Amino acid sequence: MLQRVIDLLLGVPPALALLIIAALVFGEAALFFGFVLPGETAVVYGGVLAAAGKVSVVAVLAVVVLAAVIGDSVGFEVGRRLGPRIVRAPVLHNHPDRVAAAQGYLRKRGGRAVVMGRFTAFLRAVMPGLAGASRMPYPTFLAFNVAGGVLWGTACVLLGFFGAHSISTVTHYLGVTSAVVIAIIVIGIIWAWHRRSRDV
């Protein structure tokens, strides 16, 4: 089944694939999409596309890092504006222990928590907002945000790129469920694209 899903994803036009990857990576922290679909799934998928020659690996890296940095910056601004109220937001309300642990980690590690948080799905979604709510200076946040985005993005893209020849590797890191969800998103976007083209 996973092979059929990957074949479908590989058939997506390169520009559209990059747009989907950028949207998922951006939305993870900016819109808390990380609670539904980890952005690293889309990034690994981008590496697989690059390995298949569908898109340049440099283009994937550039899109991923840029989307990650901008998405986290938006999440930071949301946290800065909402302040302590962000921990009472509906999306975080059901995770009080994890939010408290993330806040403690941020207080203990400071900017380094922003970098390390990139490599955990929950922290990747909440750390920018919590950093903003804690009134961390934005230049400090931005420096660590860029460092984390580059490290995380490069690692995930290269994982997909060099692991693309092995379905078992892709299965382990991408996951059947995540791959199917991305496939559904892709199908929905392509359907909307074609419908709009017919209406024009």
Average pLDDT, integer, range 25-33: 80
- Dump pLDDT digits (tens) for 168-177: 555 555 555 5
- Alpha-carbon distance of 162 to 36, in angstroms, equals 26
Residue linked to tokens 């089944």: 1
Does the global pTM surpass 0.85?
no
Give Rg (Cα) of the chain.
Answer: 17
The pLDDT, as a whole number, for residue 1 is: 44
The listed range with the strongest mean pLDDT (53-67, 148-162, 184-198) is: 53-67
Token pair for 21: 């990857």
Domain of residue 98 covers 2-199
- Alpha-carbon distance of 78 to 152, in angstroms, equals 22
The pLDDT, as a whole number, for residue 191 is: 59
User: H-helix or E-strand containing 43?
Assistant: helix 39-51
Token pair for 31: 């819109």
Q: How many domains is the chain partitioned into structurally?
A: 1
The pLDDT, as a whole number, for residue 70 is: 95
**CB neighbours of 162 closer than 8 A, spacing ≥ 6?**
47, 51
- Dump pLDDT digits (tens) for 148-165: 999 999 988 988 888 776
